Structure 1
Amino acid sequence: MEKFTIWLIGIVDREGRQIYSEHVGRQTLPITEVINHYRVPKDMIIRVNLDAYSRFRPVIGDGECFYRSFIFSYLEQVLDRQDRHEEHRLLDTVKRVYTQHANLGWTSKFSRSYRAFKKLLQKVRRWKRHGRWSSIASTNSYRKEKLLEFFSSYDTTEEIFVFLRLVAAVQICSHKDDYEPLIHGLRKNYNLKDWCFRRVTPSRKFTDHVMMTALVRALEVPLKVERLYGGCAQDIYTGSGVPRVSVTLLYTGNHYDIIYPHAPSAESSSRQASQREHPAD
């Protein structure tokens, strides 16, 4: 009979395998808890430098951790915005991906997952409208609760992960010259499409740098990945210079969680708000 111990938002078996009770942690934790959460060995602590961050949010490690962390963090920030510019921009972006998929002539689950993704964005709009005249604190609490509820079940999220994986695959195969040099093992009878349908689109497949780059370039969402055990942070995609919702994740060697930068100063926040209101200036 296996013994289990409580470990933050889940439980761990005697082999140290983490079994989460939540797909996305309902509470964020102080960034200082990262050391304990991942049981970082004492001789490795000196290499862990996350001073730029205040908190982190653990997610379940089921093979979809990158996609789950990425889209949850992104939508969490969209919900915090008072305007709807980002939702409109993203809808226009995924429409372009829809056209690219049609041009590739693939038989896939893209149309179905595309509809599921648009429905999720519609939900986000409804959540943002709720409590418009209520206090900001109660409104934000409601929005976050609805987002956490959506991401608590495979029934609601599975099609979203299918869509994000297909977006990455469409981006890769629509820009062969950019991605073929990055992928080893391609040959006449094993082309880029074969690689995508074997390595990118199947559920629970691990996500590497190529797939991350393809997804964020396709959606035009800035992404930075910090490494738990040292090394320089990777700016996977930085965007065109226009201030935009950006995502920061923590990579542990085989898993991704969400981390939150320290809040910007009041002066910086005011400047960013002005840039959002006047993006063409």
Structure 2
Amino acid sequence: MMAEHEAEWMQVAKQGPLVSDPMSALCLKAEYAGNANENFLLGIESLAKRYDAMRRVRGDGNCFFRAFIFALCEQLLSPDGNPGSASSSQTARLRACIEETIRASKAELIAVGYSEIAIDAFWETFVDYLAAMETRSHAELYPLFTFLQDFQTEGGESEYLVWYARLLTAGHLKKHAETFQPFIEGLFPELTVEQFCAAEVEPMGKECDQPQIAALTEALNIGVKIEYLDGSAKELQTYECSASASSSSSPRSATQEPVTLYLLYRPGHYDILYPRAAAPSTASAAAVQEQ
């Protein structure tokens, strides 16, 4: 019965938008109605108490990377449109750090064996997207509205960002192969880091596991907190990969302020969460709902 329920909601996830509008975590209850495992409903109630909203992400195998990049880019939009405010200044500093990291990443990827011709268009799209975010934050009434449209467009440039996130992950795994090889052997005993990246990281549509999560958070020096709703316990289980624990040796990480992204994991799938103190602004959410 549990497998049937998982198959049903995974089918729904595969058919949904790339990234949804904000919604209450309580909306998940309908997907577990009649499920004999009450831990799912208990977990949903706990989520709703701790998180003000969530966004569904399409379950096409790219959900972790899409959720991570969307949540990160959302952090890079000035929250109030006022370039002189403290919150906007903090956002601008973070955006500058991330942009510097992405700009430097092409040379780092070439150093571990990637062809410049193969990665240049994806790298350039990411750099240009980040550079445009400053103008977007200050020039538009509802920058989140336009930003969400970018991530809801089938085949749009946001897909370039998603694939480049995979590339950043693979590049970090290769650069730190000795560190990650034991973890990869635990999942795929027959694969080297190079083979793992070619088979499980670089191709679009491949689901994500803990080595990829750790590598991407370290590559960007961005923390992630993942709430596990898998029915295994009455209380939500939490996995946290802290930016402060990153193995990144880049001097950029020393000036980058700590940031944590929040995701929800259900078997084989990731969505975006908003803690009650960091929910989408009323104005932005209202603008999104008016689509």
TM above 0.5, yes or no, is: yes
CA deviations 1:67-109 (Å, max 9, x no partner) are 1111111111221251210111002222343232121122373
| Alignment of 1:120 onto 2:136 | no
Q: Which runs of 4+ in 1 moved over 6 A?
A: 13-16
Gaps of 5+ in 2: 1-6, 80-86, 246-253, 279-291
CA contact (8 A) 1:78 1:245 kept: no
- The residue identity in structure 2 corresponding to 1:235 is E
Secondary structure class of the residue paired with 1:263 = helix
Please show how residues 42-53 of structure 1 align to structure 2 within 5 Å: 43-44=38-39, 45-48=41-44, 49-50=46-47, 51-53=49-51
The counterpart of 1:67, out of the listed 57, 62, 65, is 65
CA contact (8 A) 2:229 2:237 kept: no
CA deviations 1:32-81 (Å, max 9, x no partner) are 22322555725222344323211111111111111111111111122125
Q: Distance in 1 between matches of 2:10 and 2:115?
A: 40
Q: Distance in 1 between matches of 2:25 and 2:128?
A: 33
Q: Distance in 2 between matches of 1:89 and 1:144?
A: 21
CA contact (8 A) 2:222 2:261 kept: yes
What residue in structure 2 maps to residue 224 of structure 1? 225
Please show how residues 104-183 of structure 1 align to structure 2 within 5 Å: 104-107=112-115, 109-131=118-140, 139=141, 142-153=142-153, 154-183=155-184
CA contact (8 A) 2:103 2:127 kept: no
Query: RCO higher in 1 or 2 (8 Å CA, sep ≥ 6)?
Result: 2
- Judging changes above 3 Å, is the alpha-carbon distance between structure 1 residues 38 and 147 closer, same or farther for their aligned structure 2 residues? farther
Secondary structure class of the residue paired with 1:151 = helix
Q: Distance in 2 between matches of 1:258 and 1:86?
A: 20
Q: Distance in 1 between matches of 2:34 and 2:210?
A: 24
Q: Distance in 2 between matches of 1:263 and 1:75?
A: 18
| 1:20, distance to aligned residue in structure 2 (A) | 3.5
Gaps of 5+ in 1: 1-12, 132-138, 265-281
The counterpart of 2:26, out of the listed 9, 23, 32, is 32
| 1:203, distance to aligned residue in structure 2 (A) | 0.6
CA deviations 1:94-135 (Å, max 9, x no partner) are 23432321211223732221111112112312211215xxxx
| Alignment of 1:260 onto 2:255 | no
Q: Distance in 2 between matches of 1:168 and 1:14?
A: 30
CA contact (8 A) 2:102 2:126 kept: no
CA contact (8 A) 2:262 2:273 kept: yes
TM-score after normalising by structure 2 = 0.75
**Number of aligned positions between the proteins:** 240
What residue in structure 1 maps to residue 88 of structure 2? 82
What residue in structure 1 maps to residue 99 of structure 2? 91
- The residue identity in structure 1 corresponding to 2:277 is A
- The residue identity in structure 1 corresponding to 2:53 is R
Which has a greater percent of helix? 2
Cα RMSD of the aligned pairs, angstroms, is: 2.5
TM-score after normalising by structure 1 = 0.77
Q: Distance in 1 between matches of 2:203 and 2:172?
A: 16
Q: Distance in 2 between matches of 1:105 and 1:64?
A: 24
CA contact (8 A) 2:264 2:272 kept: yes
- The residue identity in structure 2 corresponding to 1:103 is A
Q: Distance in 2 between matches of 1:47 and 1:117?
A: 36
CA deviations 1:189-214 (Å, max 9, x no partner) are x5321210111000100011110110
CA contact (8 A) 1:97 1:218 kept: no
The sequence identity of aligned pairs, in percent, is 23
What residue in structure 2 maps to residue 3 of structure 1? none
